[in-house]
Amino acid sequence: MRFITTVLLACLWASVSSARDEFQKGLDAYNKQDYTTAMEYWRPLVEQENTTAQYNLGTMYANGQGVARDEAQAVAWYRKAAEQGVAAAQFNLGVMYDSGRGVARDEARAMSWYRKAAEQGVAAAQLNLGVGYAIGRGIVKNETQAVTWFRKAAEQGHADAQFNLGVMYDNGQGIARDETQAVTWFRKAAEQGHADAQFSLGDMYENGHGIARDEAQAVIWFRKAADQQLAEAQLKLGEMYASGRGVSKNEAQALAWYQKAAEQQNATAQFKLGEIYENGNGVIKDEAQAATWFRKAAQLQHPDAQFKLGEMYAHGDSMKQDYARAVYWQALPARQGNEQASKNLAIYRDHLNKYRVRVNLLNIRTKPTIDSTVVKQAQQGDILYQLSEPNDGWIKIYLPNEHTTGYVSEPLVERLDNDGQ
């Protein structure tokens, strides 16, 4: 599970000093979105070292309200207020350092300002300081300290901190593992609409971790997260519909949720769509569509999709048979220990060896023209694979080490026998 951090600037701040007439007039104008007038009222107060006005002026520069957006100016005004102890300004200055906005990025300085604000009770600063400790960003990693700061923010009702504290309990990071406590904190965040927490709570219900197993409840929470466009939840909801767990089996609904996740570049969902079209589960069998989704997933490094795509190229399923690409896509899962891919690789390479060629020094071009872009300059003795018969003096070839195709002029290509001689 990933940690959530708050990087949004805090909104406008009105302290007790806002009782001053001039400040209140500026605040009234700001609330009416009359930023120019607000600036006119607050700028004189800034010159009088009014810290609230300094902070608010920084916010207006950061957001481009009533002035041209100027993050360097925002930093300057936040710093003035922060150095005088304004907690919101300390937090925002930390955000600016953390993200490199208006100032050179400096995670250590960001954590220093987060700490100042956190010690004054700013929940968002406590959260970000906790994340720094959890992953060792801008500060020495200390998971126990991370738990401490997450808890402070979580007890103030900060949903991201509640989720992060749940993660720490679930993983046993910085505190003894306690799945019941993880469920408690996930639920608090989930009930505030936190999508990651909703998904995590669904996962706990699905697997019976920290709570009695209840697949129907899992589906409820997965749906809440899926409706917020969380791809992992959309994938999981598709799986529940496909298997009929916690909900009546419905292949159309499974397809719909897989599609939503796939469109968000979720490789597993793309692979599952490929399987659906390959096998005709709830849809008309369509190998071309299967290949499309396998290819998308394969390009996102999904090993099972790479394996499937390699087989489809080797067999010529819905596409031209292409052993060069079959070799490429089988080699990737083979390197990850897929035994069948390793066996296929040997077979496909044997087929491909019939088309090996040795080249002398020449340019490999993108198109069969002398003035086209050079892909690579082959060296004497390089072995490539011939993908086409000669056409107007040009042969299409495949470069196995770079997984790319190009064209070479026929006179500079020498056919090899199967022993490479």
User: What is the residue-wise DSSP string for 278-326?
Assistant: HHTSSS---HHHHHHHHHHHHHTT-HHHHHHHHHHHHHTSSS---HHHH
Q: 240 and 119 in one domain?
A: no
Q: How many domains does the chain have?
A: 3
- Count CB neighbours of 376 within 10 A: 16
* Residue type for position 15: S
pLDDT at res. 354: 65
- Count CB neighbours of 411 within 10 A: 10
Q: 73 and 197 in one domain?
A: no
Quick one: what percent of the chain has pLDDT higher than 90?
64
Decide: 269 and 275 in contact? Cβ < 8 Å. Answer: no
Q: Torsions phi, psi of 415, nearest 5? A: -70, 135
Q: 154 and 228 in one domain?
A: no
Decide: 18 and 30 in contact? Cβ < 8 Å. Answer: no
What CATH number should be reported for the domain holding residue 226? 1.25.40.10
Average pLDDT for 129-136: 96
What CATH number should be reported for the domain holding residue 360? 2.30.30.40
Q: Does residue 376 surpass a pLDDT of 60?
A: yes
Q: Is 29 contained in some domain?
A: yes
Q: 156 and 225 in one domain?
A: no
Quick one: what percent of the chain has pLDDT higher than 70?
88
Q: How far is residue 410's CA from residue 421's CA, in Å, rounded to a whole number?
A: 19
The residue length of the chain stands at 421
Last residue of a domain, one of 175, 195, 224: 175
CA 89 from centre of chain? 30
Q: Does residue 102 surpass a pLDDT of 50?
A: yes
- Cα–Cα distances (Å) from 352 to 156, 325, 360, 397, in that order, read 65, 10, 20, 12
Q: Give the burial class of 258: count Cβ atoms within 10 A of its Cβ; 0-12 exposed, 13-18 middle, 19 or more buried.
A: buried
First to last CA, the chain: 54
Q: 156 and 51 in one domain?
A: yes
In terms of pLDDT, which residue wins out, 63 or 384? 63
pLDDT at res. 356: 65
Q: Give the burial class of 288: count Cβ atoms within 10 A of its Cβ; 0-12 exposed, 13-18 middle, 19 or more buried.
A: exposed
Average pLDDT for 97-117: 96
Q: 94 and 9 in one domain?
A: yes
Average pLDDT for 65-70: 92
Which stretch of DSSP H or E encloses residue 376? strand 374-378
Q: 251 and 202 in one domain?
A: yes
> Token pair for residue 224?
């809440």
* Residue type for position 286: D
Average pLDDT for 76-97: 95
pLDDT at res. 391: 81
List % helix, strand, coil for the chain (3-state, nearest 5): 60, 10, 35
Q: 385 and 365 in one domain?
A: yes
Q: Torsions phi, psi of 108, nearest 5? A: -65, -45
Q: Is 135 contained in some domain?
A: yes
Residue-number span of the structural domain to which 410 is assigned: 355-415
Q: Does residue 2 surpass a pLDDT of 60?
A: no
pLDDT at res. 264: 97
Q: Tens of pLDDT along 322-374?
A: 888 888 899 889 999 999 999 998 888 887 766 666 666 667 777 878 788 87
pLDDT at res. 359: 63
In terms of pLDDT, which residue wins out, 279 or 19? 279
pLDDT at res. 14: 52
Q: 242 and 166 in one domain?
A: no
Q: Is 239 contained in some domain?
A: yes
User: Per mean pLDDT, which range of 68-82, 269-283, 377-391 is the poorest?
Assistant: 377-391
Q: Is 409 contained in some domain?
A: yes
Across the beta sheet with 404-409, the strand order is: 374-378, 362-365, 404-409, 394-399, 383-386, 356-359, 413-415
Q: 160 and 85 in one domain?
A: yes
Last residue of a domain, one of 150, 175, 200: 175
pLDDT at res. 345: 85
The overall average pLDDT reported for the chain is: 88
Q: 112 and 25 in one domain?
A: yes
Q: 248 and 363 in one domain?
A: no
Last residue of a domain, one of 264, 299, 325: 264
Average pLDDT for 203-231: 98
Query: What band does 48 get if pLDDT is binned at 50, 70 and 90?
Result: confident
Q: Is 201 contained in some domain?
A: yes
Q: How far is residue 284's CA from residue 203's CA, in Å, rounded to a whole number?
A: 32
pLDDT at res. 331: 87
Closest by Cα among 71, 129, 141 to 100: 71
Q: Is 46 contained in some domain?
A: yes
Query: What band does 271 get if pLDDT is binned at 50, 70 and 90?
Result: very high
Q: Is 271 contained in some domain?
A: no
Q: Give the burial class of 21: count Cβ atoms within 10 A of its Cβ; 0-12 exposed, 13-18 middle, 19 or more buried.
A: exposed
Cβ partners under 8 Å of residue 356, min gap 6:
383, 384, 385, 386, 415, 416, 420
Q: Tens of pLDDT along 164-205?
A: 999 999 999 999 999 999 999 999 999 999 999 999 999 999
Average pLDDT for 28-39: 90
pLDDT at res. 373: 81
Q: Is 28 contained in some domain?
A: yes
Kindly provide the b/e burial profile for residues 93-108, where b requires at least 16 CB atoms within 10 angstroms of the residue's own CB.
bbbbbbeebbbeeebe
